[in-house]
Amino acid sequence: ASPQAPVAPKDGGLIWVSRTGLCGELSSDDVGRRVRICGWVALHRVHGGLTFLNLRDHSGIVQVTTLPNEFPEAHAAVNQLRLEYVVSVEGIVRCRPAESINKKIKTGMIEVAAEHVQILNPVRSKLPFLVTTGDEGKDGVKEEIRLRYRYLDLRRQQMYSNITLRHRVVKVIRQYLEDMHGFVEIETPILSRSTPEGARDYLVPSRVQPGTFYALPQSPQLFKQMLMVSGFDRYYQIARCFRDEDLRADRQPEFTQLDIEMAFMPLEDMLKLNEDLIRKVFLEIKGIELPDPFPRLTYAEAMSRYGSDRPDTRYELELKDVSDVFMEASFKVFSDTLRSGGIVKALCVPSGAKVYSNTALKKGGLYSEAIRSGAKGLPFLKVLENGEIEGIPALVSSLGPQKRDLLLKRCAAASGDLILFAVGDPGSVNRSLDRLRLFVAQELGLADHSRHSILWVTDFPMFEWNDSDQRLEALHHPFTAPNPKDMENLSSAHALAYDMVYNGVEIGGGSLRIYQREVQQKVLEIVGISPEEAEAKFGYLLEALDAGAPPMVESHMALTDW
Amino acid sequence: ASPQAPVAPKDGGLIWVSRTGLCGELSSDDVGRRVRICGWVALHRVHGGLTFLNLRDHSGIVQVTTLPNEFPEAHAAVNQLRLEYVVSVEGIVRCRPAESINKKIKTGMIEVAAEHVQILNPVRSKLPFLVTTGDEGKDGVKEEIRLRYRYLDLRRQQMYSNITLRHRVVKVIRQYLEDMHGFVEIETPILSRSTPEGARDYLVPSRVQPGTFYALPQSPQLFKQMLMVSGFDRYYQIARCFRDEDLRADRQPEFTQLDIEMAFMPLEDMLKLNEDLIRKVFLEIKGIELPDPFPRLTYAEAMSRYGSDRPDTRYELELKDVSDVFMEASFKVFSDTLRSGGIVKALCVPSGAKVYSNTALKKGGLYSEAIRSGAKGLPFLKVLENGEIEGIPALVSSLGPQKRDLLLKRCAAASGDLILFAVGDPGSVNRSLDRLRLFVAQELGLADHSRHSILWVTDFPMFEWNDSDQRLEALHHPFTAPNPKDMENLSSAHALAYDMVYNGVEIGGGSLRIYQREVQQKVLEIVGISPEEAEAKFGYLLEALDAGAPPMVESHMALTDW
């Protein structure tokens, strides 16, 4: 018994034909060959009794021409075509006439002389925009229209490359982890129980048990710890994660991360494994050589120098603490705050004095950015050609020559530079100057795009003070191990957690895990979870930690951010 | 700036050590080498002043012994150990004494003489069952206990293999699709709109737009069609799918399938691509050679011969239509039904007459199975040694010698065989005999487990009658293409849909897609969806079909069923 083969339908019916190859892969090597190619009409013009078209598939385009005398039917069929029709073309590959050779594309030496042409699917609607091969037409089309007709937008070669980039990155990751390091890919459930992480869970009502809910996982967190307790040793997953947060440009309700958990691996090995992976991806996918090893910055140093735990180091613009300069100065805005325990930090913008007029500094974009960051104003000074300073009069007059020189030296400020200040508690000062630093760098185009800033940020505090809840909370999450050195004073301990930062974006990280019940319980207590609550929420984990949990280490990489 | 390295903690603290290798990979080649291995205590015994233990990780076990005189601290530490403690052992690999050599395992020639032993994590709870290396202990432990303490159950080598099987299968699939056939893996969203498929959707309430819901996809169905319209040509995904159905042994709320969609590929190429893939997986993972090509059965033939569209052909037991035998016979149960358009089919069980007593046939398991299948009873005949038949008297007496011989010949029944009957409309007759066939095969152990039954079922009807809704519905789904030959009478058309059946389980399938708006609209109309409703539900798809949709073909493989 064999199935009935589909017969060739009459015109306009469904038909499936075989290709001999792809449009964009034909070349001079194929001259004289009979081919059948399928694709979309990308260009269509009549010229001197002949009709030309470009046929496009995902591999590229090839020129098709007609032979009106030898193959009048094919010629007539080609004349009926319109842009984006789906067609099958059968014919002989031949050299293009010298005047139409295009050396820029692979198929530019040849064309296909059509002998048989079938319309597989016509276009009956008026298309809202042209499918161009490059990015050229993009700017003319609104984002909403491109998204509304995404199936057209994605036909462009550029969009095809964007979408397939993920595929190529993941392929390199799999090779590295599976073939070089023996990792096993394991799928963990999507319909699961709520896990305690930073964001809101998406909930799925259960039909079978009314009133109960599944939660979509914010990460495979607990599952992967259980896998380590089960002895799986080296797990990875390209894991879908869900966070019910308000949409932002860099936050989507669902996203995908590379998720790794390893047993019996020490810290430096984990960092090296991640570095090597990222170096390999950048080299193989983008041809970029990243440093070996990656530079490292402690959290404290990153905050001090950049006001941020994810600094973009493609440009300098480092923050300087100038509290001592103003400690006894007469500028009350600063000195009052300093006396009550605050700090003053400065950001020196090279040649910024000419770029930003005094008016701009008092109500322009930079000023608005300062206000948005929570600052009450934007104190500034400009260094004049003669080495004098100008700016807010009370600020200028508060500095004698000695203090002024100390300030300029501290900021490495030269004539023509602009110095911006922030004052207050360290958190808000850093927050303000981080934003101003990014804003200025963006506006002045300071980032050298041929440079790549990649680094580890290390030694995060385990806990930070949540002022509105009046309690300590975990900076990463409460399963991160404290540095064993800090066990005596756990609430101020550093965490064995590491963030990987690329061009100012956190693209991944890793941490050692708490793997002993006793330590886990202490940490939960510090973030205000009572033993009873811990038992109710994490009883399963605590029990597992007591049943032979190995030392574990996790790492993760965002797949959407790079 | 470099991060602070974790220092060695005092006993009982967190510690991460480096391994030199894995327990199960040590061999005679390593004799004399200093190693550090980490794992779980799998066996622990004191014997003649020495202490032995087996240390286990995912790679296997290795024997560890002590040197009480040379390394008394290590000896003392080993004595403290208990089963499933997590430890690090440093020592020298040496040959085992001749009397303790175990040739059955890779590490059976050697042992590690412990010089330094660290407890990384003790076990403080009483474990509910032993972690055995093989399957031996399994039967003694209840399923619920094994699931409750799944992290212990998964430590067994057998469970490790089960879980990693998926990984190995997926790896073969990826190699085949990506490296040999140029497929691109593309992730489609999980939070999406409801798609029209067979089962109930899981719904996720939106917080941002109260009263609206996301649906979790039953398959990537519409996304992958859109990808083809966008020109992606060859897509695949290891896709998570969700169906809110009541739990059954073979139905879970979420499952994973290999999901494929291809443009411009004809039927036979698609079938061959899938066959080659499955042959490769079976060969590489299980060492099984499947036939090339796979046998094919039309839907009509499968229903006629096996009463099922997923027949297990490892055993014969074919159904025979014997309606003509009973057409004019006096057995009213049969003849009345035949006159009103029903049929009678028979299932001959070789040597079944002795296995099933008359009492069993009137109220035993086989009888119950018939009733559960919806039959009103279980008519049967036995063929005696002398060639006579016995059974329900009215049935026996209704058959003269000629009809009896015709019946026996039709069923290829010999003395000692049992013939079971079902009567009614074809649907219910097939349903009953399919169940009885599986039941008998299971009970008599008819399946030859060295055989592998794999086949395509072809030529499904496009539509089947839904009696409760009084309308036609799509047998697969309403996007499957009808055979172009059948376009004139679409409502009775065959679908270009193919199921792959392995040992009686549908493990995958493929179908050509409707890719023209006009045909799609006609099919939707037949299943009772008005043009307005079609526009509301599938407007986006219909619009895309009109904007240059290529001929498309899909296929899918369950990853949980094999």
Q: Give pLDDT tens digits for A27-38.
A: 999 999 999 999
Nearest to B245 by CA among B202, B192, B190: B202
Distance from CA of B190 to the nearest CA of A (A): 8
Query: Would you call B484 and A84 a contact, using CB atoms and an 8 Å cutoff?
Result: no
Confidence check: pLDDT of A229 > 60 = yes
* Mean pLDDT of the region B138-151: 82
- pLDDT for residue A200: 87
Confidence check: pLDDT of A550 > 60 = yes
- pLDDT for residue A138: 54
- Which of A244, A456, A546 comes nearest B207 by C-beta? A244
Q: Among B14-28, B449-463, B474-488, which is the least confidently predicted range?
A: B474-488
Residue of chain A minimizing CA distance to B266: A16
- Of the pLDDT bands very low, low, confident and very high (cuts 50, 70, 90), residue B139 is low
- Which of B14, B86, B264 comes nearest A519 by C-beta? B14
Residue of chain B minimizing CA distance to A240: B190
Confidence check: pLDDT of B138 > 90 = no
- Of the pLDDT bands very low, low, confident and very high (cuts 50, 70, 90), residue A135 is low
- The predicted-structure confidence for B382-434, as pLDDT tens digits, reads as follows 999 888 999 989 999 999 999 999 999 999 999 999 999 999 999 999 999 99
- The predicted-structure confidence for B240-277, as pLDDT tens digits, reads as follows 999 988 776 667 889 999 999 999 999 999 999 999 99
Query: For residue B152, what is the enclosing H or E element?
Result: helix B150-153
Q: What's chain A's average pLDDT?
A: 91
Confidence check: pLDDT of A474 > 90 = no
- Of the pLDDT bands very low, low, confident and very high (cuts 50, 70, 90), residue A11 is very low
| Per-residue DSSP letter, A132 | -
% of chain A residues with pLDDT over 70: 95
Using CB atoms within 10 Å of the CB of residue B434, give its burial: 0 to 12 exposed, 13 to 18 middle, 19+ buried. buried
- pLDDT for residue B200: 87
Query: Would you call B301 and A155 a contact, using CB atoms and an 8 Å cutoff?
Result: no
Confidence check: pLDDT of A110 > 60 = yes
List, in order, residues 6 or more apart from B31 with CB less than 8 Å away. Answer: B93, B94, B95, B110
Question: Who wins on pLDDT, B7 or A68?
Answer: A68
Confidence check: pLDDT of B134 > 60 = no
Task: Collect all residues of chain A within an 8 Å Cβ-Cβ radius of residue B185.
Answer: 167, 170-171
Query: Would you call A13 and B484 a contact, using CB atoms and an 8 Å cutoff?
Result: yes
* Mean pLDDT of the region A351-357: 93
Query: Would you call B484 and A6 a contact, using CB atoms and an 8 Å cutoff?
Result: yes
Q: Is B43 helix (H, G, I), strand (E, B) or coil?
A: strand
Q: Among A241-245, A495-499, B122-126, B197-201, which is the least confidently predicted range?
A: B197-201
Distance from CA of B204 to the nearest CA of A (A): 5
- Of the pLDDT bands very low, low, confident and very high (cuts 50, 70, 90), residue A49 is confident
* Mean pLDDT of the region B299-304: 97
Nearest to B317 by CA among B451, B450, B434: B434
Q: Does this chain's domain A23-121 share its CATH topology with A186-297+455-558?
A: no
How many Å apart are CA B71 and CA B122, to the nearest integer?
A: 22
Task: Collect all residues of chain A within an 8 Å Cβ-Cβ radius of residue B205.
Answer: 203, 205
| CA-CA-CA-CA dihedral for B163, B166, B169, B171, to nearest 10 | -100
Query: Would you call B150 and A84 a contact, using CB atoms and an 8 Å cutoff?
Result: no
Residue indicated by tokens 């990826």? B174
- The predicted-structure confidence for B197-210, as pLDDT tens digits, reads as follows 567 889 999 888 88
Q: Among A492-496, B45-49, B241-245, which is the least confidently predicted range?
A: B45-49
Query: Would you call A86 and B549 a contact, using CB atoms and an 8 Å cutoff?
Result: yes
| ipTM, interface predicted TM-score of the complex | 0.90
Confidence check: pLDDT of B133 > 60 = no
- pLDDT for residue B5: 35
* Mean pLDDT of the region A148-177: 94
- pLDDT for residue B10: 43
Task: Collect all residues of chain B within an 8 Å Cβ-Cβ radius of residue A236.
Answer: none
User: Under a CB-based contact definition with an 8 Å cutoff, are residues B290 and B304 in contact?
Assistant: no
% of chain B residues with pLDDT over 90: 76
The 10 Å Cβ neighbour count of residue B476 is 19
Query: Would you call A254 and B190 a contact, using CB atoms and an 8 Å cutoff?
Result: yes
How many Å apart are CA A480 and CA A466, to the nearest integer?
A: 18
What does the domain layout of chain B look like in residue ranges?
23-121, 186-297+455-558, 315-446
- Cβ-Cβ pairs closer than 8 A, A with B, add up to 303
Nearest to A462 by CA among A495, A509, A503, A424: A495
Query: Would you call A17 and B264 a contact, using CB atoms and an 8 Å cutoff?
Result: yes
Structure tokens at B472: 């036609």
Confidence check: pLDDT of A109 > 90 = yes
Return the CATH architecture of domain A315-446.
Answer: 2-Layer Sandwich (3.30)
Distance from CA of A254 to the nearest CA of B (A): 7
Query: Would you call B190 and A190 a contact, using CB atoms and an 8 Å cutoff?
Result: yes
Task: Collect all residues of chain A within an 8 Å Cβ-Cβ radius of residue B485.
Answer: 4, 6-7
- Which of B12, B186, B456 comes nearest A163 by C-beta? B186
Task: Collect all residues of chain A within an 8 Å Cβ-Cβ radius of residue B127.
Answer: 547
Using CB atoms within 10 Å of the CB of residue B141, give its burial: 0 to 12 exposed, 13 to 18 middle, 19+ buried. middle
- Which of B242, B254, B550 comes nearest A86 by C-beta? B550
Query: For residue A472, what is the enclosing H or E element?
Result: strand A471-474
Query: Would you call A551 and B184 a contact, using CB atoms and an 8 Å cutoff?
Result: no
Buried b / exposed e over B21-34, threshold 16 CB at 10 Å, is: bbbbebeeebeeee
Beta-strand relationship, B319-321 and A380-383: unpaired
Nearest to A218 by CA among A255, A166, A183: A255
How many Å apart are CA B302 and CA A520, to the nearest integer?
A: 60
* Mean pLDDT of the region B67-74: 94
Residue of chain A minimizing CA distance to B186: A167
Residue of chain A minimizing CA distance to B216: A204
Residue type, B208: V
Task: Collect all residues of chain B within an 8 Å Cβ-Cβ radius of residue A459.
Answer: 3-4
Interface with chain A: mutation pick from B83, B151, B200, highest number of A CBs within 10 Å = B151
Buried b / exposed e over B256-285, threshold 16 CB at 10 Å, is: bbbbbbbbbbbbeebbebbbebbbbbbeee
- Which of A18, A150, A547 comes nearest B123 by C-beta? A547
Task: Collect all residues of chain A within an 8 Å Cβ-Cβ radius of residue B186.
Answer: 163-164, 166-167
How many Å apart are CA A113 and CA A89, to the nearest integer?
A: 9
Distance from CA of A294 to the nearest CA of B (A): 11
Query: Would you call A3 and B456 a contact, using CB atoms and an 8 Å cutoff?
Result: yes
Query: Would you call B14 and A512 a contact, using CB atoms and an 8 Å cutoff?
Result: yes
- The predicted-structure confidence for A369-402, as pLDDT tens digits, reads as follows 999 999 999 999 999 988 899 998 999 999 999 9
CATH class (in words) of the domain with range A23-121: mainly beta
Confidence check: pLDDT of B348 > 70 = yes
* Mean pLDDT of the region A337-366: 94
* Mean pLDDT of the region B9-31: 84
Task: Collect all residues of chain A within an 8 Å Cβ-Cβ radius of residue B253.
Answer: 191
- pLDDT for residue A2: 37
Confidence check: pLDDT of B6 > 90 = no
Task: Collect all residues of chain A within an 8 Å Cβ-Cβ radius of residue B86.
Answer: 548-551
How many Å apart are CA B343 and CA A311, to the nearest integer?
A: 79
- pLDDT for residue A137: 52
Query: Would you call A549 and B185 a contact, using CB atoms and an 8 Å cutoff?
Result: no
* Mean pLDDT of the region A80-94: 96
- Which of A246, A519, A551 comes nearest B208 by C-beta? A246
Q: Hey, what CATH topology would domain B186-297+455-558 get?
A: BirA Bifunctional Protein; domain 2 (3.30.930)
List, in order, residues 6 or more apart from B13 with CB less than 8 Å away. Answer: A484, A487, A519
- pLDDT for residue A139: 59
Query: Would you call A204 and B190 a contact, using CB atoms and an 8 Å cutoff?
Result: no
Interface with chain B: mutation pick from A40, A86, A258, highest number of B CBs within 10 Å = A86
Interface with chain B: mutation pick from A145, A151, A540, A541, highest number of B CBs within 10 Å = A151
C-alpha pair distances (Å), B348 with each of B370, B398, B410: 15, 19, 10
Task: Collect all residues of chain B within an 8 Å Cβ-Cβ radius of residue A125.
Answer: 543, 546-547
- pLDDT for residue B136: 54
- Of the pLDDT bands very low, low, confident and very high (cuts 50, 70, 90), residue B195 is low
What is the CB-side half-sphere exposure of residue B549 using CA atoms within 13 A? 27
- The predicted-structure confidence for B514-542, as pLDDT tens digits, reads as follows 999 999 999 999 999 999 999 988 899 99
| Per-residue DSSP letter, A468 | T
C-alpha pair distances (Å), A303 with each of A300, B116, B298: 5, 42, 70
- Of the pLDDT bands very low, low, confident and very high (cuts 50, 70, 90), residue A548 is very high
Confidence check: pLDDT of A272 > 70 = yes
Task: Collect all residues of chain A within an 8 Å Cβ-Cβ radius of residue B17.
Answer: 264, 266, 551
| Per-residue DSSP letter, B253 | S
* Mean pLDDT of the region B345-349: 98
* Mean pLDDT of the region A263-284: 96
